[in-house]
Amino acid sequence: MNVVKANAKKATGKAADQADVVIAGAGLVGLALAAALAGGGLDVVLFDPQLDRPMGDPRASTVSAGSRRLLEALGVWEEVAAQAEPVHEMRITDSRLDHVLRPVFLTLAGEVDDGAPFAHVVENAILHCALRAAVEARGVRLVAEAIRTVTPGPGAAEIEAGPGLSLPAPLVIAADGARSRIRERLGIRSRGWTYDQASLVTTVAHTEPHHGAAVQHFLEGGPFALLPMPGNRSYVVWSETRAEAERIAALSDDDFLGELAVRAGAEFGGLSLAGPRGMRPLGLRIAERFIAPRGALVGDAAHAIHPIAGQGVNLGFRDVAALAEVVLDAARLGLDTGSVDVLRRYEEWRRFDTALMVAATDGLLKLFRVQGGAARAVRDVGLGLVDRATPVKAALIRSAAGLEGRLPRLMRGEAL
């Protein structure tokens, strides 16, 4: 792939040569947004100082049916479909480590209205590669520099990314993660907290087939999930208290695998490591606003949540679909795409949905962290009632599939 630092000269050599949109951050969300906007005819410049470094991401993502439709509309899904594993059901237990048997209290299974599974699991590196190719094919200009300053003006924001490297653009979008510097440059504050938890991630191979089943064990230390991947493998998302996670992360591979096997149980047989290990602290953070004059936030720059529901990247893709639709509709009407009046439609569209997901993930985490037999009994009765309530389960499946609420066109699989 060509990381065209030389394009910076093309993009910034003359004041008249301004972009329609500047995006900071070339993660999955930033790349998807760049592909959507450039596919709609806008001139997009993407800044990220990590552009010419190897991907090296050990994580995988649960891609909901709505996000799959977005990727199909962008022409990306066909590049990753063969390496994506469908999730046919999600089984949830509420257990202790010393429980030999872990009864399943809730099972979510079924297909969405187009006959496809409600989710797939895809390695982030595979998704990133396909999105990067789509961005390059659409002529997005890539600059391997960090944006240093953003100065909003009446007609455009002036972006400075280094000595002699400046670029005016009507709209600047922060897709640079939970610790977004561009969010700060736009004058948007965020609120949140850290959990006394960290997430351990890896991929394991197992001797017994998973049959497309995702399993989530709610254990004393936190949720432990096994998500199906191609080739009789599963992706592990394993939450523990910060101190315990640090202890486990420091273990040798054999000892790490032993700790993992205790939490996974015997359902998938013998386990072996099939990928690198990673660890990151967990927290919750949400921006006070999603927009500012000449600017908007997407993905973790707007909202960073606990991985308990596997919805982080899907929230980001919904941001992409909504913002791309708002911006492209405004551009075709000849409106100022970076004006607050235009961007407010995006914020109103995404704010409530995001707040619901933030509250749901935080509340679910706190509910399952309450220990004791009485608390577990109440939870398990509740899960059992939901499991027997067919309409409620159907609504949960549609929600997990990202198909509830007022969907942007890309989330319906429609081109912009």
> For 354-386, what is each residue's pLDDT tens digit?
988 888 788 777 766 666 665 565 565 565 555
Return the pLDDT at 14. Answer: 31
Neighbours of 393 (CB within 10 A): 17
**Distance from C-alpha of 90 to C-alpha of 108, rounded to nearest angstrom:** 5
Between 85-99, 130-144, 240-254, the lowest mean confidence (pLDDT) is in 85-99
Sheet harboring 149-152: ordered strands across?
A: 149-152, 157-160, 166-169
Q: Most confidently modeled of 218-222, 311-315, 323-327, 401-405?
A: 323-327
**Distance from C-alpha of 207 to C-alpha of 102, rounded to nearest angstrom:** 19
Return the pLDDT at 391. Answer: 64
Which residues of the chain does CATH 3.50.50.60 include? 7-56+124-192+284-412
For the 7-56+124-192+284-412 domain, the top CATH level (class) is alpha beta
**Distance from C-alpha of 175 to C-alpha of 302, rounded to nearest angstrom:** 8
Return the pLDDT at 381. Answer: 55
Mean of pLDDT values over 32-45? 98
Q: Are strands 149-152 and 157-160 parallel, antiparallel or unpaired?
A: antiparallel
Mean of pLDDT values over 70-97? 91
In the CATH scheme, what is the homologous superfamily, with its name and number, of domain 60-65+79-123+195-282?
D-Amino Acid Oxidase, subunit A, domain 2 (3.30.9.10)
Which residues of the chain does CATH 3.30.9.10 include? 60-65+79-123+195-282
Question: Does residue 159 register a pLDDT over 80?
Answer: yes
Return the pLDDT at 27. Answer: 95
CB 192 within 8 A of CB 301: no
Return the pLDDT at 387. Answer: 56
Question: Does residue 103 register a pLDDT over 80?
Answer: no
Percent of the chain with pLDDT over 90: 66
- Split at pLDDT 50, 70, 90, the class of 307 is confident
**Distance from C-alpha of 138 to C-alpha of 372, rounded to nearest angstrom:** 55
